[in-house]
Structure 1
Amino acid sequence: MGFFILNLFAMIATVVTSSFSTRWLGTWLPAGWTTRWYSAAWSEFQLHDVLLVTFQIVFLVVALSGLIGVPAAYALARRDFPGKKLVMLLFLLPLLVPPITFGIPLATVLYQTGFAGSMSGVVLANLVPTVPFVILVMIPFIEQIDTKIESAARVFGANTFKLFVHVLLPLLMPGILAALLLVLVRTLAMFELTFLTAGPTSQTLV
């Protein structure tokens, strides 16, 4: 494990160092240092606009995934209803199949409904795998909370909103942060869905 981490940091350090070099051939260290490659990339590829769109999409996907996924995970963890296993299977399908498999028909539907080629279309497409991901991560965190804690809060007059904000949210915060962090990384790495739904005029780093 230590050897793997050492090699990983060595590769990252090599890439970062080479990005500041004027020329690097036949030596351990660059012959000179410069930031012009960053300036050229910033101006030539309009990185300001690209990064802005990327951060907007990632923020919306992370926020909506949490707002939808956490309550859905609570319902699936605490409630029994007919067809629960089927619902769980449907939620897991986007995580079990390659993104390109459901990405093409999803993009077709978004183009037909007019959502594709816009930020809302990209966000909707990325929510398909990220919401089930939040649900999958959060269910074990919710199941490990004793239901007696919730019952005690209701006995003392807490409604559903107060129960969630003052009792469940502090207990679930580690799981929520872990789930949202994983969603952020997954969204940045989900090139296929963004490519299929963004349209030819959109530019993101997602």
Structure 2
Amino acid sequence: MNSSGNGRMILNTYVVAVMVFLLLPIVIIVPLAFSSDASMAFPPSGFSLKWFEAALSRPEFLDAFYLSTRLAVVTTAISLSIGGLAAYALVRFRFRGRALCEALFLSPLIIPTVVIAIALTMILGQMGLLRNFWGLVIAHTIMTLPYAVRVLAASLSEIDRDVEEAALVLGATPARMLFHVLLPLLRPGILAASIFALIISFDEFTVTLFVAGPGYYTLPIEIFNYVEFYSDPTIAAISTLLVALSCVAIAIIERIVGIRNVFK
């Protein structure tokens, strides 16, 4: 076998190993969610749906889910609005300080999350926004904004500026060009950025742990609080429900625009 064949075999082996590593927790967690055991033991000794009933009957989990969903939706809307304007400026214009602005928008990707969490705790505390919903929105927007800027900038770079100019030359107002020309062309990028923002916001833990307070515990924080005192498969049931919701979301996206169109 030549060196090219050996390299391909090593690459394939590496990809399979990474996929197994990523999927193994799901393979273990999903059967545990249907276990009849009183504690998390693998493999389960019997089948039961009682842990789903237990998870859905606990008001703290339901309240945390509603808060996480509301927070993720608001954060995504703000991130897309700010990220879209920033991406348009970074892609369409050349100005002094452009590289610095881009680095500033993308900095949460490289700065340690705990550093951002401590800084936000100090700043939001001085602003009186610590331990409330809008403080969480600000914190989550900072964490999701880099993904919105990066994805939308990549999508904009694939759209020729001549399309926008042609619409304006043909008599379209800037607003009409935006809503009838640019945004439809950006739909896959907007959807991809929305997915990233929703997932990052919904799963954000470290920053939320510093910023959240009583009455504002998101689902990851509530799960963390639960596993401190209990070791039953209720957490496995919640995780399985979240996996199922993710699969439904992916199916809907595939139905509307297609996964390949979102990430091409």
TM-score, normalising length: structure 2? 0.70
Inter-partner Cα distance in structure 2 for 1:106 and 1:29: 43
Compared with structure 1, are the counterparts of its residues 16 and 135 closer, same or farther at alpha carbon in structure 2 (3 Å cutoff)? same
2:139 equivalent among 117, 122, 125: 125
- What's the CA shift string for 1:146-165, capped at 9, x where partnerless? 11111110011111211111
Q: 1:61 — aligned with what?
A: 75
Matched ranges for 1:16-95 at <5 A: 16-23=30-37, 30-44=44-58, 46-95=60-109
Q: Is the 8 A contact 2:143 2:201 kept in 1?
A: no
Q: 1:185 — aligned with what?
A: 199
Letter in 1 for 2:208: T
Q: 1:155 — aligned with what?
A: 169
SS of residue matched to 1:145: coil
Superposed CA RMSD: 2.3
Q: Is the 8 A contact 1:138 1:176 kept in 2?
A: yes
1:170 equivalent among 184, 206, 210: 184
Inter-partner Cα distance in structure 2 for 1:8 and 1:111: 38
Letter in 2 for 1:83: G
Inter-partner Cα distance in structure 2 for 1:51 and 1:63: 18
Compared with structure 1, are the counterparts of its residues 131 and 8 closer, same or farther at alpha carbon in structure 2 (3 Å cutoff)? closer
SS of residue matched to 1:23: coil
Compared with structure 1, are the counterparts of its residues 145 and 111 closer, same or farther at alpha carbon in structure 2 (3 Å cutoff)? same
Inter-partner Cα distance in structure 2 for 1:111 and 1:28: 44
Unaligned runs of 5+ in 2: 1-14, 221-264
Q: Is the 8 A contact 1:18 1:24 kept in 2?
A: no
TM-score, normalising length: structure 1? 0.88
Compared with structure 1, are the counterparts of its residues 129 and 28 closer, same or farther at alpha carbon in structure 2 (3 Å cutoff)? closer
Unaligned runs of 5+ in 1: none
How much does 1:189 deviate? 2.8
Inter-partner Cα distance in structure 2 for 1:11 and 1:23: 19
